[in-house]
Homo-oligomer: A and B are copies of this chain.
Amino acid sequence: MASVVTRIDAQLAFLTEADKLKSVVRGTTLCDGSRRENSGEHSWHIALYAMVLAEHANRPINIDRVIKMLLIHDIVEIDAGDNPIHGGHDPAKMEAIEQAAADRIFGLLPPDQAQAFRALWDEFEAAQSNDAIFAKSIDRVQPVVSNLETDGGTWPEYNVTAEQLQTRVGVKVQKGAPAIWAALKARIDDWFVRNTAN
């Protein structure tokens, strides 16, 4: 029993540390524009996105692994913060910070779980497996929907153009879930036509 308690203590320490993700504020807002969303609620929302949109993956995926991947994909932000894709930052420096964060935070778990969670996070970061490619696609879809719901949302703030959106977001969504990007594209183009000065 003593070792079970020790194990649960380590697991609860990790879960309590994970609570801090609710205080990491992201670039995008809620769909009603009332405030910026945090990375904890974002992680819930995209896990739900994956659950609902799994059928649109363009290659075989294991949705249960994708959901688990998405539940932990942003946990390193507790140390590293959120880095908006339109924000501009040093990728090599960010990667070093995120690797150290993964060491520290997943390291709170019992060793077997630390290893399994870290492997799943590494797979997401590598963006090579079918599951990771679909997870990355879904992670990019949700902010687009939020921005469309709030009349462009943070696009004007970051001076995002339709071309940048296609290059930085569209390409990645298309890689894992082209049908979803096709469905969004009409709405996106419509917004940019209405909001681009010429």
Contacts and interface: CB of A to CB of B under 8 A. Distances in A.
Give the interface centre of A31, A49, A52, A145 by most chain B CB atoms within 10 Å.
Answer: A52
**Chain A contact residues (Cβ within 8 angstroms of B): what range?**
35 or more
Interface in A24-60: 30-32, 34, 37-38, 40-41, 43-45, 47-49, 51-53, 56
Interface stretch (A8-16, A127-135, A155-163): A8-16
Which secondary structure dominates chain A's binding surface? helix
Interface string A89-109: 000000000000000000001
Interface stretch (A164-172, A176-184, A189-197): A176-184
A144 to B, nearest CB: 10
B146 A19 contact: yes
22 contacts: A4-B56, A4-B179, A8-B180, A11-B52, A14-B52, A15-B52, A15-B142, A15-B145, A16-B31, A18-B48, A19-B32, A19-B149, A20-B31, A22-B30, A22-B45, A23-B34, A43-B44, A44-B44, A47-B71, A51-B72, A64-B64, A67-B71
B180 A15 contact: no
A53 B109 CA distance: 11
A181 to B, nearest CB: 10
